[in-house]
Amino acid sequence: MTSAVVPHTHSRPRWLRRRPHCLAAWLQCRNAYRHRLLPWPLSAMVIAVLVWAFGRTALIAWLQHCCAHSVVVGLVAAAAVAAATTRRKAGVRRELGQSWLAALPSAQSQLARVALAPLGLVALVVSVLIIATLAGLPLPAAAVILAAIAAGAAAGLVIGWLLPRGSAAPTPGSWYALVPRSRSDLRPTLLPLAHWPIAATRVWGRPSIRARWVLVVLLAVPLGTPAAKALAAAAGVLVGWYLLTLLVAVMRVAFAAAWWLAPTSIGILRFTGSLVYLAWLRQLLICCLSLAATDALGGASVLREGGAIAAAWLALCCLSGAGACGWALAPRSIAHSRLHRWMR
């Protein structure tokens, strides 16, 4: 092997070469766009959604409304960036002990690494504002929002950095499923498999995560909306979030469980039944409770529509769960499947 085949890293800027974390992140991002198909349609979808959203006058009006309440926007930005900084601080601390780059000399300070996440958030907002300006948002309004967010982000970064550090220990993984079991019954059982998606949903639906979604929904509710409607919207989002994460958890757990259960004598039917039934019962229970609540609030016509949606959702859960289990346990693909690795 000669140096002729080795591309020179000297072609990259010096500051990037002295920051291995940034260099590795840049190379990974470039590889993802060059060699993987998924990032392209995802990016296209995000851009399409943004262009569609900014084509609607309601959103431009909402941004102008934000411009009129720039102090609130600044406060929200400060709170979001402070929370992101505190989380990132714990993440950087964890990386320090585990990363493959941890033992390298790096010119990048911890503060700079912590600040990357909030700066990314601000960059995202800036790009959204640019699209909004192109779609008709007056330039002074965009400038006011940008200034409010930048000031809020700077204050949030300082607050987040000064706040006490969070625990460096990672969040307990979704595979820690607690299974209720009688002490006298020592027979082996597949019950833990059924509880696994439930545990995963519990981890993904931690209050800190749910709170963000509720906050986004409540911020999107126009001023003057009755409190009952706003609360109903928030409750709807929470229920929807739970149902969706339970569906995703079943599919993800199917691939994770297939990885180590495939060499056993478990059949596809037993595997599917054990893994899906409890999650499906939960979906059924939540749908019934939601329908009952809808009936109490909205009447028979809403109940009819809701019933049809719930039935379609339950059928989708059943089909997607069974499909994922069948695909995951199919012997042809497990060893080399990228999907298995990704889903795990």
List the one residue from 71, 107, 143, 316 that touches other proteins (CB under 8 A).
107
Among 64, 75, 90, 106, binds other proteins (CB under 8 A): 106
Among 58, 104, 223, 296, binds other proteins (CB under 8 A): 104
Q: Does 98 bind other proteins (CB under 8 A)?
A: yes
Q: Could you tell me the smallest distance in angstroms from the CB atom of residue 178 to other proteins?
A: 14
312 touches other proteins by CB under 8 A: no
Closer residue to other proteins (CB): 43 or 171? 171
Tell me which DSSP letter residue 9 carries.
Answer: G
Do residues 154 and 179 touch, judged by C-beta distance below 8 A?
A: no
**How many alpha carbons lie under 13 Å from residue 220 in its C-beta half-sphere?**
11
The CB-of-183 to other proteins minimum distance in angstroms stands at 24
CB atoms within 10 A of CB 162: 10
- Give the DSSP per-residue string, 230-251: HHHHHHHHHHHHHHHHHHHHHH
- Comparison of 300 and 335: residue with beta carbon closer to other proteins: 335
Specify the residue, 29 or 285, whose C-beta has the smaller distance to other proteins: 29
Sites for other proteins among residues 157-216 (CB under 8 A)? 169-173, 176
Only one of the segments 90-98, 151-159, 230-238, 252-260 lies at the binding site for other proteins (rule: CB under 8 A); that segment is: 90-98
Round to the nearest angstrom and report the end-to-end CA distance of the chain.
36
Positions in 16-45 near other proteins (CB under 8 A): 16-18, 20, 23-24, 27-28, 31-32, 35
Whole-angstrom distance, CA of residue 79 vs CA of residue 58: 26
Decide whether 24 or 163 has the Cβ nearer to other proteins.
24
The window from 5-13, 42-50, 186-194, 306-314 that contacts other proteins (CB under 8 A) reads 5-13
The residue (of 94 and 282) whose beta carbon lies closer to other proteins is 94
Q: How far apart are CA 26 and CA 34, in angstroms?
A: 12
DSSP state of 168: S
Contact between 229 and other proteins per CB under 8 A: no
# residues near other proteins by CB under 8 A:
39
Q: Which is nearer to other proteins, 4 or 227 (CB)?
A: 4
- Applying CB under 8 A, does 226 fall inside the site for other proteins? no
Residue 335 touches other proteins, criterion: CB under 8 A = no
Does position 7 interact with other proteins (CB under 8 A)? The reply is yes
Q: Is 109 in the site for other proteins (CB under 8 A)?
A: no
Element (DSSP H or E) covering residue 46: helix 39-54
Determine if 96 is a binding residue for other proteins (CB under 8 A): yes
Q: Which residues contact 279 (CB under 8 A, 6 or more apart)?
A: 194, 197, 198, 201, 246, 249, 250, 317, 321
- CA 321 – CA 344 distance, rounded (Å): 16
Closest CA to 129 of 174, 63, 173: 63
The rounded distance, in Å, linking the Cα atoms of 110 and 108 is 7
- Minimum CB distance to other proteins, residue 170 (Å): 4
Q: Distance between CA atoms of 141 and 126, rounded to whole angstroms?
A: 13
**What values do phi and psi take at 109, rounded to 5?**
-80, 165
Which helix (H) or strand (E) segment holds residue 284: the answer is: helix 268-298
- Return the range that interacts with other proteins (CB under 8 A); candidates 102-110, 183-191, 294-302, 312-320: 102-110
Q: DSSP label at 299?
A: -
Q: In sequence order, which residues have a C-beta less than 8 Å from that of residue 330 and are 6 or more positions away?
A: none
Nearer residue to other proteins within complex by CB, 2 or 265:
2
Instruction: By CB under 8 A, name the binding residues for other proteins.
Output: 1-3, 6-10, 12, 16-18, 20, 23-24, 27-28, 31-32, 35, 96-107, 169-173, 176, 341
